[in-house]
């Protein structure tokens, strides 16, 4: 009996062990199934910097803001999420002021020629970050290209080419993977620049929210099954106006800076299975593994540097600029490059100039209601956190977004699961019927209006004031400017009544010469990835307008039973085309800048909400929607008055690339110092150096090998170009390097790459090199 009992006990123990082994195996399999990838994911990135000279910048509508160099390069970044045997969606984020209807048309034409109907206007969204420091001239409507002297083909082509290439990259990178979502609060990165308009919203509505700007950042984390994390996209509301209207260097502003910081952080810190926390004492670098260790005897470094004098200009190939750039594909491993995008959302009334708006003459705060100083708008400017240094303000606001994105990225655990789907339609917002509830009960049908801009539009904002005697909050206008307006187009009584209480300064929707001044047919689009829904809006929603739109769509989706309360609704602003601002009815009544720039009348927001609700309903039902009327293709009608580059020249005995002002001999610099060198150069429009660089910092490794460490895609390096006078054939390129705190001591030199145009029209590429110097 004892033996039998012993054996029976052993059998029970073994059975129990096997039970737990099997159960553990099943649980592991169950967890694996729950977190297994349900999508194919692919990411891509490509240079869209465009012409860095002579072209007016898009955003401030300041005709004197002409590009003359590069702060850091602009990029198009994209993700594709696809069901293995089903739908797919494409989202493209541009380091540009906004998307362009014409650009999207031509991109879709190219994609259809390459992939058939795989990528169409329905499932591709193209969005801008709203930097005000990128080249203009790429939109097709007159009012948006007046200050750029019409259409700029180089700006347009750079965008179309770059978007196409980044989508091709993402398509070719499609692999099984997962997408995770995370959200968090980010403070002190935006303030409401029209608080008086916001206060006109109902108190009961305002009381629902702690702040008068949205403080939530929503982030997607893309994880490849084999490689691990390969990218992130996030949406957060703050304007791309840290760089002022006097800046002339191409820049991605605070969001472009944040993207560069995060991509470099990941490349430097990624260990293959995750990412490391931020090193708070410095902006991260990605080249520390190729830089030699610190040498103790600086006198030997100085002696070594003295053996490398400036080389003088010499012929080069364009390829040299591409392969020498720090992030050259020739030095990229097989693993896909990490792509991080900082996208725009409902930023309409949100400024990054968080210190507030002050009068430049007195230093006192500007008038609260009209943002004026002694009745004048020209002296009222917002101040960024690095005031008076706008580059520092850009870095700080970018850094705050970057650090929050890293926190969300590292903590992202909610996986997106479910359908990939989309809906898209075109609607004519110049005469769209909108059903609204009446105060006494029942409904009424109203119509939106042809586009028009009010007097408050010309006053500008505290980020970039207007001119003359215009003021924000002007709901009357004045006789003189009405007379000027009538020379262009006198609005009809019907239009005046439709737009009330906006006094019409420019009746752009009814101005058709030499072609359309403003859009009327707008794209409305929803993208779905599991429990995430992206609302593609072709304009700038204010804070409260965005909240109302998100809430309306969320209500529709959660009432259908397919989504629970954990649904994530994100607004992607400035997407697919541009139609200026969208305010609430109450904000419209105040007629500050945003209300005066709400084109289609007081019920513009209601029209958007109605149309997005219909798309949301069609997502639930599975029904398709009508394509709607096609917008015009105005490419053949475009007019360009920008003078082409005729010829480049240098003084007798001087070659392109020769140093004009060199680094002083035997120079030693410390971290934080600025080094400057000037070269004889040529117009950057001769070659945009796409995926290349105009400027390069190299460090000496061993005794004769120079390693690229910084280029004009880096925040710390500035390429500044200019002529001594407007029509001169001669020009200079000044390269400024603010030495980062993270730099390694050693011997450095600065190089310039360029391209000159001869009288016969041929292009000659060149390079020049400064004297070597020591950083300690």
Q: Is 239 annotated as a binding residue?
A: yes
From 45, 127, 244, 351, active-site residue? 351
Answer for the pair 190, 238: CB distance below 8 angstroms, yes or no.
yes
Cα Rg, the chain, nearest whole Å:
28
Q: How far apart, in whole angstroms, are the C-alpha atoms of residue 769 and residue 756? A: 17
Q: How far apart, in whole angstroms, are the C-alpha atoms of residue 352 and residue 345? A: 14
DSSP 751: E
Q: What angle do CA 81, 86, 91 make, to 5 degrees?
A: 25
Contacts of 765 (CB under 8 A, 6+ apart): 315, 316, 317, 318, 320, 321, 687, 753, 754, 755
CA dihedral 597, 600, 601, 604 (to 10 degrees): -100
DSSP 689: -
Of 578, 581, 524, 541, nearest to 138 by C-alpha is 578
Q: How far apart, in whole angstroms, are the C-alpha atoms of residue 504 and residue 502? A: 6
Residue 13 phi, psi dihedral angles, 5° rounding: -65, -45
Token pair 């969606």 in the structure block, residue? 89
Answer for the pair 28, 35: CB distance below 8 angstroms, yes or no.
no
Contacts of 761 (CB under 8 A, 6+ apart): none
Contacts of 379 (CB under 8 A, 6+ apart): 359, 360, 361, 372, 373, 465
Residue 660: burial class (beta carbons within 10 Å; 0-12, 13-18, 19+): middle
Spell out the alpha helix ranges (H) of 560-627: 585-590, 593-596, 604-621
Q: How far apart, in whole angstroms, are the C-alpha atoms of residue 374 and residue 400? A: 35
Answer for the pair 485, 499: CB distance below 8 angstroms, yes or no.
no
Q: Is 710 annotated as a binding residue?
A: no
**251 is known as an active-site residue:** no
Q: How far apart, in whole angstroms, are the C-alpha atoms of residue 601 and residue 202? A: 20
Q: Is 64 annotated as a binding residue?
A: no
Of 762, 765, 743, nearest to 753 by C-alpha is 765
DSSP collapsed to 3 states, 133-169 = CEECCCCCCHHHCCCCCECCHHHHHHHHHHHHHHHHH
Contacts of 241 (CB under 8 A, 6+ apart): 59, 132, 253, 351, 352, 353, 382, 463, 464
- Pairing between β-strand 443-447 and β-strand 433-437 as defined by DSSP bridges: antiparallel
CA dihedral 111, 112, 116, 117 (to 10 degrees): 100
Contacts of 178 (CB under 8 A, 6+ apart): 35, 36, 37, 38, 39, 41, 222, 223, 225, 415, 416
Tokens of 638: 């475009």
Of 732, 735, 752, nearest to 682 by C-alpha is 732
Tokens of 210: 């702690």
Of 463, 544, 90, 442, nearest to 243 by C-alpha is 463
Residue 319 phi, psi dihedral angles, 5° rounding: -60, -30
| 254: three-class secondary structure by DSSP | helix
| 339: three-class secondary structure by DSSP | strand
Name the residues annotated as catalytic: 351
Q: Which residues are annotated as a binding site?
A: 130, 239, 540, 581
Q: Which residues are annotated as a binding site for Zn(2+)?
A: 130, 239, 540, 581
């Amino acid at each position: 009996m004892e033996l039998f009992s012993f054996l029976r006990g052993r059998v029970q123990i073994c059975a129990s062990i096997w039970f737990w082994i099997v159960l553990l195996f099943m649980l592991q399999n169950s967890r694996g199934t729950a977190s297994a990838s349900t999508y194919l994911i692919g990411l891509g990135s490509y240079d869209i910097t465009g012409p860095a000279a002579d072209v007016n910048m898009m955003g401030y509508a300041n005709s004197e803001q002409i590009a003359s160099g590069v702060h850091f390069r602009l990029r198009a970044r994209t993700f594709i999420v696809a069901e293995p045997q089903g739908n797919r969606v494409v989202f493209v984020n541009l380091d540009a002021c906004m998307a362009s209807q014409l650009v999207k048309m031509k991109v879709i034409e190219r994609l259809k020629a390459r992939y058939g109907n795989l990528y169409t206007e329905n499932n591709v969204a193209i969005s801008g970050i709203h930097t005000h420091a990128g080249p203009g001239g790429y939109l097709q409507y007159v009012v948006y290209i007046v200050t750029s002297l019409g259409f700029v083909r180089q700006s347009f082509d750079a965008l179309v080419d770059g978007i196409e290439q980044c989508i091709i990259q993402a398509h070719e990178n499609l692999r099984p993977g997962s997408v995770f979502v995370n959200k968090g609060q980010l403070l002190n990165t935006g303030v409401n620049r029209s608080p008086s308009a916001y206060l006109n919203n109902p108190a009961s509505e305002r009381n629902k929210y702690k702040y008068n700007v949205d403080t939530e950042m929503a982030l997607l984390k893309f994880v490849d099954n084999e490689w691990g994390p390969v990218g992130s996209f996030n949406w957060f509301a703050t304007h791309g106006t840290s760089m002022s209207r006097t800046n002339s260097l191409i820049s991605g502003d605070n969001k472009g800076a944040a993207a560069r910081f995060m991509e470099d952080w990941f490349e430097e810190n990624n260990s293959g299975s995750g990412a490391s926390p931020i090193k708070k004492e410095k902006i991260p670098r990605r080249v520390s593994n190729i830089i030699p260790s610190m040498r103790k005897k600086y006198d030997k470094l100085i002696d070594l540097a003295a053996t490398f004098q400036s080389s003088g200009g010499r012929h080069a190939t364009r390829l040299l600029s591409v392969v020498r750039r720090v992030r050259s594909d020739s030095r990229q491993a097989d693993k896909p490059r990490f792509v991080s995008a900082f996208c725009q959302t409902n930023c309409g009334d949100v400024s990054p100039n968080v210190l507030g708006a002050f009068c430049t003459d007195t230093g006192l705060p500007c008038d609260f209601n009209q943002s004026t100083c002694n009745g004048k708008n020209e002296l009222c400017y917002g101040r960024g956190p690095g005031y008076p240094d706008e580059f520092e303000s850009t870095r700080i606001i970018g850094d705050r977004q970057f650090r929050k994105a890293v926190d969300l990225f590292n903590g992202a655990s909610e996986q997106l699961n479910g359908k990939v789907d989309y809906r898209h339609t075109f609607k004519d917002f110049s005469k769209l019927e909108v059903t609204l509830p009446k105060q006494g009960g029942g409904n009424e049908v109203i119509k939106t209006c042809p586009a028009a801009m009010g007097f408050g539009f010309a006053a500008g904002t505290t980020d970039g004031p207007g001119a003359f005697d215009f003021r924000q909050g002007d709901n009357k206008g004045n006789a003189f400017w009405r007379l000027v307006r009538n020379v262009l187009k006198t609005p009809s009584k019907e239009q005046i009544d439709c737009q009330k209480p906006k006094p019409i300064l420019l009746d752009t929707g009814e101005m058709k010469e030499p072609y359309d001044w403003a859009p009327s047919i707008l794209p409305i689009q929803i993208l779905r990835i599991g429990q995430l829904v992206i609302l593609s809006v072709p304009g700038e929603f204010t804070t409260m307008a965005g909240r109302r739109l998100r809430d309306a769509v969320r209500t529709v989706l959660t009432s259908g039973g397919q989504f629970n309360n954990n649904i994530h609704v994100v607004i992607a602003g400035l997407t697919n085309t541009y139609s200026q601002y969208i305010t609430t009815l109450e904000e419209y009544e105040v007629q500050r800048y945003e209300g005066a720039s709400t084109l289609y009348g007081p019920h513009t927001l209601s029209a958007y909400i109605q149309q997005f609700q219909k798309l949301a309903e069609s997502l639930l039902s599975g029904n398709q929607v009508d394509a709607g009327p096609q917008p015009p293709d105005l490419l053949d009608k475009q007019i360009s008055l920008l003078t082409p580059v005729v010829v480049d020249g240098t003084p007798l005995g001087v070659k392109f690339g020769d140093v004009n002002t060199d680094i002083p001999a035997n120079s030693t610099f410390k971290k934080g110092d600025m080094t400057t060198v000037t070269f004889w150069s040529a117009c950057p429009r001769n070659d945009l150096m796409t995926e290349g660089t105009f400027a390069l910092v190299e460090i000496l490794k061993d005794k004769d090998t120079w390693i690229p460490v910084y280029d004009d895609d880096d925040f710390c390096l500035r390429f500044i170009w200019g002529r001594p006078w407007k029509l001169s054939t001669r020009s200079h390129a000044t390269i400024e390097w603010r030495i980062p705190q993270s730099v390694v001591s050693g011997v450095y030199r600065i190089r310039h790459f360029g391209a000159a145009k001869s009288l016969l029209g041929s292009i000659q590429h060149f390079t020049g090199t400064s004297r070597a110097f020591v950083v300690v």
